[in-house]
A and B are shown apart, each in its own frame.
Chain A
Amino acid sequence: MSVDARVDLGGIALRNPVLTASGTFGYGTEFAPFLDLRRIGGFVAKSLTLEPRRGNAPTRIAETPSGMLNAIGLENVGVDAFLTEKLPALPEGVTVIASVFETEIERYAEAAKRLTGSRVAGLEVNASCPHVKSGGIEFGQDPALLRQLVAAVRRATDLPLLVKLSPNVTDVAAMARVCEGEGADALSLINSVQALEVDVETRRPVLSNVLGGLSGPAIRPIALRMVWQASRAVSIPVCGMGGIASAEDAVKFLLCGATAVQVGTLNYLEPGIAGEVADGLVAYAERHGVARLADLVGALETA
């Protein structure tokens, strides 16, 4: 039996549902020694700001049980260098989604505008940035701010628009509905979970930034719960992520309502694993007599 692996993620036609997550995959070319990028559905590039950013002082990462914390500080090459240097370096046939991250709504919109018309297949808005004018609350934590942000980016681009939701909220379904209401084509979740690790010898936080984002298999059950809640609240597709380390993990996200998935932290330690997850999804479908991977989406039985 041949399995149909194709899915449509809010207007982005993917050859299979496996993407890689922003911030874990550089600008794609770093993985050339490990993986043919045409084997996976596509990748989400490192979050871009209008200007290049340098990032935080060391220490930037810390290992935790089945996970890691990071506070990189959104170091990136900036929108212009991405367009002129990074995108042209990618082989034909690779599906790339750009990610944008800014501190003010107008700057998000400007970044979206500059990326429109390039070869990117879509735009993911990273809504986990602190909004400077609101005293540092994340855009994705305040429904009113999130509404303004999505509306402004929607006006700025006709690219398929994904909004990456923060897990650091009380009601993710409400945030999902806000995005759908403002014209988002799809949702990505979850971003990393805000966390803290401590060095008891120095009595200091391990990270220079004090707080960091927890990722890896440690957050997978939280991510599955939030994908399930969000996907039931909206009719636009959801892209699920959080500690995916195998094809079976990816199946769990599809069953909980994700149309596609993103492999994240595991790209660091097992570069190329996203290709194995994609192949493994097809093998799972063959084993279970599933004709189309899309048939698994939301097929979780709770009765």
Chain B
Amino acid sequence: MSGETAPLRAEARVLALRDEGGANRRLALEVPGWPGFAPGQFAMLQAGARGSATRRDPLLPRPMAVYRELPGEGALEILFKVHGRGTALLADLRPGDALGFVGPLGRPFPDAPAGSRAWLVAGGTGIASVYALAARLAGRGHAVSVLLGARSEGDLMGESDFAALGVTLEIATEDGSRGRRGRVTALLEDALAGGEEGVVYACGPTPMMAASTALAEAHGHPCWVSLENPMACGFGVCLGCAAPRRDGSVALVCRDGPVLPGADVAWEGLS
């Protein structure tokens, strides 16, 4: 499976929707004609059948990382948080309900050089963007360290899935309710102090990705980030998701990303 797979627009069906506590939801869906995806790619999701009122207000679909494929033809899993009206409507879906789907979209995470370590730093919904990457890297024999951050224990997503991959898993929460108290970037700082060669991958709040990029640069490691800007289309025509680059140009998060070299991003210009 490559990042070159052409996206499709489909009416997807809900297979299951699970409340995982707090705002966290786990959605299993069936996408007719699903062509496969590469870790880091995303899809645009919108609750309701084609032409229904929920597809008109709120008007825009929500970009979400493809978490993983499930057994069964075209079956996928998405992890998300109920945050606003669009995600609240998705959280209200029941098995059998229809939803709009466009995907897979965007450029995936590049591989790490053979034999090198990979540090995956993720916070908030960014955790959902790196699970497939962790699975792939672990499957290819890389030493993988996954560093997950959240405000509080109940905000963490997917922890047991990562644990099941057999990767090194460390957790930080801002309130100290789980793992180390503080920011996930403090875990990265310690991990990189070991002096090992490797690649950093980060997805989460903008300040966290900016700090991860700076830490990786200080140690001479490449750092790939996955940006989460709002967007209307997901395939390069609305131009709404522009992110400024350090060289003065603009990247479209949907088309040039969502995965970009962290060193290319002008972090101070991202809202």
Contacts and interface: CB of A to CB of B under 8 A. Distances in A.
A30 B236 contact: yes
A26 B250 contact: no
Contacts of A268: 60, 232-233, 237-238
Given A58-B271, A246-B51, A269-B55, A24 B250 contact: no
Nearest to B244: A57
Contacts of A183: none
A33 B46 contact: no
B59 A270 contact: no
A271 B102 CA distance: 8
Given A55-B250, A60-B239, A268-B238, A33 B59 contact: no
A146 interface: no
Given A33-B8, A68-B60, A216-B59, A58 B237 contact: no
B231 interface: yes
B221 to A, nearest CB: 27
B179 to A, nearest CB: 29
Nearest to B51: A246
Interface residues of B, number: 37
A271 B235 contact: yes
Nearest to B6: A33
A55 B239 contact: yes
Given A61-B238, A75-B239, A269 B57 contact: no
Contact of A24 (B6, B7, B237): B237
B270 A58 contact: yes
A217 B60 CA distance: 12
A68 B232 CA distance: 9
A26 B240 contact: no
A160 interface: no
Given A59-B271, A61-B230, A269-B61, A25 B237 contact: yes
Contacts of A59: 230, 271
| Interface SS, A side | loop
A272 B232 CA distance: 15
Given A216-B59, A217-B56, A265-B59, A54 B250 contact: yes
Interface residues of A, number: 36
A55 B248 CA distance: 12
Contacts of A270: 9, 50, 55, 100
Interface in B182-240: 229-233, 235-240
B133 interface: no
A58 B227 CA distance: 13
Contacts of A55: 239, 242, 250
- Most A CB contacts (10 A, CB to CB) among B58, B59, B230, B270 go to B59
24 contacts: A24-B238, A25-B237, A33-B7, A57-B244, A59-B230, A60-B239, A61-B231, A61-B240, A66-B56, A70-B232, A72-B239, A75-B242, A217-B56, A217-B57, A245-B51, A268-B232, A268-B233, A269-B55, A269-B59, A269-B232, A270-B9, A271-B9, A271-B102, A271-B233
Closest 4 CB pairs of A and B: A61-B240, A268-B233, A26-B237, A268-B232
